Amino acid sequence: MRRPRRLRGCAGCGRGTGRRVLAAAEAARSRPRARGAPAAARAARLRARCAAMARPPGPSRGVWVPLFWLLLAGPAACAASPGDDGAGPGGRGPRGRVRGDAGADEAVRRHDSSYGTFAGEFYDLRYLSEEGYPFPTAPPVDPFAKIKVDDCGKTKGCFRYGKPGCNAETCDYFLSYRIIGADVEFELSADTDGWVAVGFSSDRKMGGDDVMACVHDDNGRVRIQHFYNVGQWAKEIQRNPARDEEGVYENNRVTCRFKRPVNVPRDETIVDLHLSWYYLFAWGPAIQGSITRHDIDSPPTSERVVSIYKYEDIFMPSAAYQTFSSPFCLLLIVALTFYLLMGTP
């Protein structure tokens, strides 16, 4: 048996490649040789096959097509929202956390809970219509500012009727006035659930008087109305000079605030406030928003005409506190004191 010859020209082949070349040579030797084929041609074919096996395989033309489609589909796959990440078990949640991790799941639950709270507060059913659009909200209503009595006699004029030392919340009747630009602002308050009014009169009697009244109706609102006294009857006048009206009914008291111009066109039912008038003070019950007779038979009035340009703080004691101020009572007290000092004969 003849020893196999070592092949030349295959120095670059690796160990594995050499074995494959030897196996190929043995297979070629076992085949019947073609008659007349020179040995040099066979050696050239073997060297070519060895060199082909030693070279790394080059990319084929068909590989570029799937690679191109993969590059196109890559950005779309990477742009998925965090909410879709890790939808299935073992996926990745927000920020690349692996599902199943206790810390990651707790963080995700906190995030979902906080977002749900925010969404629930922002899209509350109280503020959404059936179509899902927010309802227009009315502007907030400012509360009625309390009447300040510390300014009486300084920056505004005041009339108080009731207990000595009373204020706008405790007097039986309270009125204040002050000039603001071309208007006069009035504040009225009385211990009643019906109406409170002030009249401007040329005398101290009822009749032919311009009256501004604050009326508490059945709906809980306080409306400013304009009246004209015809004898002992108050007739409502549609022309109302009041503006910037506000009123409130609290603690069984009707309180209001409004303005009216100082100068008005000549009218029988509306007087010019730049002139001096007697002020008539009245209050009483109301039925279905309509005023009725005043509470007392002889309502108080100002003792002299009032000028809106002069601020005074005038107190008038109510009937319960007028007992010792009448001349008869004073004379009786003096007589009784003299009798006690002189003694009986």
Residue pLDDT, tens place only, 256-310: 999 999 998 878 889 999 999 999 999 999 988 888 888 788 889 999 999 999 9
Can you give the pLDDT at residue 330? 63
Can you give the pLDDT at residue 228? 94
Can you give the pLDDT at residue 273? 94
> Residue 147 carries which side chain, given as an amino acid letter?
I
CA distance 145 to 162: 22
Residue 94: φ, ψ to 5°: -60, 145
Can you give the pLDDT at residue 288? 82
In the chain, the percentage of residues whose pLDDT exceeds 70 is 57
Q: Which residue has the higher pLDDT, 255 or 85?
A: 255
Can you give the pLDDT at residue 24? 58
Residue pLDDT, tens place only, 198-218: 999 999 998 899 999 999 998
Can you give the pLDDT at residue 185? 97
The angle formed by the CA atoms of residues 204, 187 and 198, to the nearest 5 degrees, is 20
Q: In this model, does residue 334 exceed pLDDT 90? A: no
Total Cβ atoms within 10 A of residue 273: 24
Mean pLDDT of the region 126-155: 67
Residue pLDDT, tens place only, 37-92: 566 777 777 677 766 665 655 555 555 566 666 666 555 554 444 444 444 444 44
Q: Are 263 and 182 in contact (CB under 8 A)?
A: yes
Res. 20 pLDDT band, cuts 50 70 90: low
Where is mean pLDDT largest: 18-22, 30-34, 109-113, 160-164? 160-164
Residue 214: φ, ψ to 5°: -110, 115
Q: Identify which of 102, 80, 82, 99 has the alpha carbon closest to the alpha carbon of residue 90.
A: 99
Could you tell me if residue 79 is left (phi over 0), alpha (psi between -120 and 50 degrees) or otherwise beta? alpha
Can you give the pLDDT at residue 295? 77
CA distance 271 to 275: 8
Can you give the pLDDT at residue 337? 72
For the chain, give the longest Cα–Cα distance: 189
Assign 3-state DSSP to the chain and report helix, strand, coil percentages, each to 5: 30, 25, 45
On average, the pLDDT of the chain sits at 74
The alpha carbon of residue 330 and the mean position of all alpha carbons in its chain are separated, in whole angstroms, by 62
